[in-house]
Structures are given as structure tokens and as C-alpha cells.
A and B are shown apart, each in its own frame.
Chain A
Amino acid sequence: MSDITRSTAADLAAQLSAGEITSVELTEAHLDRIDAVDTRPDGRGVHAFLHVDRDGALADAADSDARRARGEARGPLDGVPIAVKDVLTTRGLPTTCGSKILEGWVPPYDATVVARLREAGLPILGKTNMDEFAMGSSTEHSAYGPTRNPWDLDRIPGGSGGGSAAAVAAFEAPLAIGTDTGGSIRQPGAVTGTVGVKPTYGGVSRYGLVALANSLDQAGPVTRTVLDAAMLHDVIGGHDPRDSTSIQQDWPSFTEAARAGASGDMSGVKVGVITELAGEGWQAGVMARFQESVDLLVKAGAEVVEVSCPSFVHALATYYLILPAEASSNLAKFDAMRFGLRVTPEGNPSAEEVMRATRDAGFGDEVKRRIILGTYALSSGYYDAYYGQAQKIRTLISRDFDAAFADVDVLVSPTAPTTAFRLGEKLDDPMAMYLNDLATIPANLAGVPGISVPNGLAEEDGLPSGFQVLAPALADDRVYRVGAALEALYADQWGGPLLDRAPRLETE
């Protein structure tokens, strides 16, 4: 297996720029890697991809090489291939959102994130697996079968963006795009030993991102290093007139923030450890790694204090009212009329009967659960007690963040309470599944940015854990700075990336 697939995107960009490799070689190497590990005759492939676009990616790579030869490279990542979560529309490439209701749908337009990737010259390798409509924390709710965790093929890769995280963890892609509504970028990052960033709400366009919960969804980078995430964020971020919630401001270079952080110097940075994100239900090995990371930051000069965010204990319940409420109305568009599946019952059925039959056949269990829950939470008589109350607690959670950030520069916690669990273990126990997002949800409710950085393996099971850094809205540069610092401190300690310790996946 070629070493090229183990390089960071930043290194690949440098090699392309120096003329040491071509984008075609690079793209072909990743496509070969996908062939080798993603599907296997014994059914134990990683299954990170729902669709691989070999021809399209190679054609884009050839275009990139031609541009570079003319001295017209469009930016540092021109020619570096990428995988895209199947919840972002791609013109001419299937987009299923992991659902049968969109099986075979080929969108007539690109999401803005995808358009920006194309403009920057990144060949798109394919679309990655996900929990259906991004509802889940394990990728087991995909209608096309689960993705497996490259660290242990019997375990979940996290979710909903398990496909994107597994793709970069298994060296099938140097970069990927994820989306994070309650942790779907950060939690998969934690359990696969990779990096994931949820930008400030409004920092990355949602145009063409098939909405799960509009007020919470954000697309962001899924990578193996903090610098790679920052470089990718610089490509996809920024104002988009097609998204009315897109923030109209100039953003600083996140690449520079990550490079500055890589010095490992944390002096002058005040870090708050969130009291409420620890305790019962948190795996001992995850907590041990977390404490070790905090100690490392202290040694690097950071001032660390404990900060209480009392309303965070209600974040999970608040989220599981707001999200289903928004999802139930968003998914009303899957009505069998204009696109997607249409199931026609016998006889001369009405449009409504066709809708009901189609939505029964096209949606999986978790989607049905959440649509019905959302319909309930929004129904008159319950609205004030559930949805109204949840919106008020959302205010309290934002106030907790405001109060905390008045005192500290960043907040930290473990990204997920446990390491990767076994496939099937929580599949039919929704509440147990929901608890995976305990630490990541508050950021979505308040719209603040967050990163998950790998911080070692839990002692009891040898599986990766993640360290979460949260910053105030618009201060995404801080998560890159602190994330890069922690990554550099660990690189010194470990003598190499964490993923070097993952098992090799090649079939003999």
C-alpha cells in the first residue's frame, strides 16, 4: 500500500506544489485504498462510502494537474481529494442522506460547500455513509448498512457522520466533510481517533445541506490533523447569499491560527473545565485521558479553572425536543410528489394515501420515531410544555456560555462519554443512543464552535477518546489554536500520530 494515503493534506498540498506528485496519482491511490478496504467479500469492509465516483474524481484530478502545470493552481488544496457526507447535494452524483426515500436521487444542483470544494479544485472521491437524515450516533441507522470503526470492525464509528470519520481514519481520504447538528462531526472524530470541527452556526453555508434541524445544523471539516481541518475550513467557510442565516463578516485565516497553535505554547490562555460534563456514565478511561490532556495544557502554560454551566444538565432533553420538532417539519417535503421515492398502493389511491405509504416504506425506525416525537411536541396542548419550554432552556444554555466565556477563553470537556461501543449494542434503545451526544449538544444549541482532537486510547479497551474545545461564537480561530497546541504536545509525547496505532485493514 502506497504511503501517499497516510500523508496529511497539508503535506500533500506541499508535495503537489513542489511537483513531487500529481493529483491523478494521489486520487488514484485513494481510490485504490477504497477498493481495498471499503468493501470486502467477507462483508467486513469499513463501508465508509455509499457512492464512489472514480471517473469523476480522476477527471477532476487531471484538470487540477493541468491547471498546476499552467501555474494556475487555485489554492493550496487544489488537487487534494476529499469525501463528502451524503447529506450535501452534489450535482450529477447520488445524494441519499442514508435513506431509502432518496435512493437513486441525483440532485440538479451543488450545495455551496460542494461548489466551493470544486472551485478550489478538490476532486470529490465519493459520498460517505451516515445515519438516515443524520439522526443517530452510530451510523447504524443508515438504510444502506452501518459503517465499521477502523480501530475495531465490530464497533461503531460514531454518527451521524461515521462514514466521513471512518474514511479519513482508514486512509481512504485525506479530507472529508461532515455535518454536526448535535455532535455528528465531533463524536465520530472522538471514537475514530480523528479531528472534527463544528464551526460557529452560520460560519459555513447550509445551502444544499439537506436540513435535519435548521437552527442547529452546521457543515464542517473531518480530518486527521488540526491544520488540515483549518485549511479545509478556509475553503468552505464564509458568507453565502443563498443561506439567509449565513454570517456576513470576514473571517480570519484558520490555517494561520492552527499554525500558531502548533508551537504548543498555551501561556496567556485561560481554559475552563465544564463541571457538569463528568460524573456518572462517563467511562473511567475517557476521564483519565481527559485529565491528562488538561494537565498537558497546564504544563504548556495555560491557566485552568473549573466552570459550572448549570443548565447543561437540561441540554439533552432540550435538544431531543427542538430537534424532532424541526425535523418533523423539515422532512414533510418528502411527500412522493416532486422527487424521491413514490409508493402507490393498490386501487386508485389519493395523494395522501400515496404519501403515507411512501413515508412508511421510505423512512427507517429512527426517522419515524423522531417525526412522531416532533409532531407530538408541536401539537397544540403540548406546545408550551415541551417546545416552548425547550426554547427557553436554550436561552439559559446560551447564558451559561456567555457567563463562562466572560471569564475563560475556551471551555473543554471529553467529546463523548465513552469510546466506541459494539455494533447493535444500543440500536433499539434510543435513550442510551442519545446519551452519546451529551457533551456535544450544548454547542449546537448555543451556536458556538467546537473541535474534537484525539487524546489517546482508553486503558480498559484500547480505543480512542477525544478532547473537546469550545469557543465563543465567531471565535473559531481559538478552537484551532488550542486544538493544534494539544495535538503538538501529544505528538511530542507519542512520537507520531495516534492513528499509527490503529490496526492495518488490508486483506492478505
Chain B
Amino acid sequence: MPEISRDEVAHLAMLARIDLSDAELDHLAPQLSVILESVASINGVAGDDVPPTSHALPLTNVFREDVVVPSLTAEEALSGAPAVEDQRFSVPRILGEEA
């Protein structure tokens, strides 16, 4: 049965960009183990001959004519931004301080 350790949860949280407190890690790790144990029942149910389904109904690429249609103005697109500067999204530094 799959066990998910506290360290693994911490690693996954880092990958998912969520800071989890110690209390949250203590709480979440055992819950995730229970869920994983339940879903592990599907292991080996479908053989290699079964194709995967990613979408309920068959789909093909959808194209449209390459014509300009009205879209959001810059003001509208920026209207929900936490910070704006010079008609652009203003974001924290993206490189390390030593860079």
C-alpha cells in the first residue's frame, strides 16, 4: 500500500508552490495516505490493451478564421492585478538576489 511521508508531502507542496506550516503537514500527510490507499484499488484493473481516455467525447482540433475580434483592453486586463506599473503587471523579482 502506498504510504506518503511527511517529507514527501513537503516536497510536493514545494513543487505545487504552497508553503505548508508544520501543523498543516502533520494534518495533511495522514489524510493523503488514506486517500491514496483508497484510490490504489485501481492498480492493475485495466490491462495494456485498454486505451486511455483523456476526454469523454472524441475531439479533434478546432480552428477558426484568423481574423481580429474585440478583446479586453489593457485597462480591463490589468484591472484585477495586485500591482501595475506603466500599463504592465508589476511582479516581485524573479531571480535570486545573488544573480
Contact indicator B41/A317 (Cβ below 8 Å): yes
A-facing mask of B8-33, CB < 8 A → 1, else 0? 11001111111111001001100110
Cβ A349 vs Cβ B52 within 8 A: no
Say yes or no: A351-B93 contact (C-beta < 8 A), given A245-B59, A356-B17. yes
Establish whether residues B52 and A317, one from each chain, have CB atoms under 8 Å apart when the complex forms. Answer: no
State whether the Cβ of A394 lies closer than 8 Å to any Cβ in chain B: yes
Residues of B within 8 A of A320 (CB): 35, 38-39
Chain A min CB distance to B57 (Å): 5
A457 close to B (CB within 8 Å)? no
- For window 312-327 of A, CB contacts with B under 8 Å fall at 314, 316-318, 320-321
Contact partners of A389 in chain B: CB under 8 A = 42-46
Do residues B18 and A360 form an inter-chain contact, with CB atoms below 8 A? yes
Establish whether residues B19 and A388, one from each chain, have CB atoms under 8 Å apart when the complex forms.
no
Contact B77 A351 (CB under 8 A): no
> Is A348 a contact of B93 with CB atoms below 8 Å?
yes
Say whether chain A's binding surface is mostly helix, strand, loop, or mixed: helix
Q: Are B16 and A371 in contact (CB under 8 A)?
A: yes
Task: Give Cα A446–Cα B58 distance, bound, in whole angstroms.
Answer: 11
Inter-chain contacts of A379 with B (CB < 8 A):
12, 15
A77 at interface (Cβ–Cβ under 8 A)?
A: no
Q: A350-B93, A359-B19 are in contact. Are A376 and B12 (CB under 8 A)?
A: yes
CB-CB < 8 A to A430: which residues of B? 31, 34-35
Closest to B75 in A: A108
Given A314-B42, A376-B4, are A105 and B56 also a contact pair (CB < 8 Å)? no
A368 at the interface (CB under 8 A from B): yes
Which B residue's beta carbon lies closest to that of A345? B19
| A337-B89, A430-B34 known; A359 vs B18 contact (CB < 8 Å) | yes
Considering only CB atoms, which chain B residue lies closest to A342 in the complex?
A: B82
Structural contact, B50 and A386, CB atoms closer than 8 A? no
Checking A109, A340, A342, A353 against B72 with a beta-carbon cut-off of 8 angstroms, the contacting residue is: A109
A411 at the interface (CB under 8 A from B): no
Q: Is A504 an interface residue (CB 8 A)?
A: no
The contact of A396 among B28, B46, B80, by CB within 8 Å, is: B46
Other-chain residue from A335, A354, A392, A445 in contact with B52 (beta carbon distance below 8 A): A392
Residues of A within 8 A of B17 (CB): 332, 335, 352, 355-356, 359
Contacts of A385 in B (CB 8 A): 43
Q: Tell me, in angstroms, the Cα distance from A331 to B49 when the chains sit together.
A: 33
> How distant is B41 from chain A, measured CB to nearest CB, in Å?
5
Q: List 14 A-B contacts (CB under 8 A).
A: A108-B80, A215-B56, A216-B56, A316-B38, A339-B82, A344-B92, A351-B92, A352-B17, A356-B17, A375-B12, A376-B12, A391-B53, A392-B45, A395-B51
Contacts A350-B95, A357-B19 supplied; 10 other A-B pairs, CB < 8 Å: A215-B55, A241-B64, A320-B35, A336-B82, A338-B81, A359-B17, A368-B13, A376-B8, A392-B45, A473-B57
